[in-house]
Amino acid sequence: MKRRIASAELLILPDGKILAHNLTPEVAAVLRELNSGDKQMKQRAARPKRDELSART
């Protein structure tokens, strides 16, 4: 298949909750900046790549 630009979708609900679909690392980083208290998004934005994981084990 042709290489496509990665895409993600966001939906902001009336109560301010943000839903993300096909969350890419780059979008996770943006969401982490929007809400620095979101621990899970912090983890998602910071997930190491495979070679970094192997180096630790």
Q: Which residues bind other proteins (CB under 8 A)?
A: 1-4, 6-7, 11, 13-15, 19-25, 28, 40, 43-45, 47-51, 53
SS3 assignment, position 41: helix
Tokens representing 22 are: 């096909």
Q: Smallest distance, Å, CB 56 to other proteins? A: 12
Whichever of 1 and 34 has its CB closer to other proteins, that residue is 1
CA dist 34 to 17, 20, 21, Å?
A: 12, 13, 17
Tokens representing 52 are: 């970094």
Whichever of 7 and 36 has its CB closer to other proteins, that residue is 7
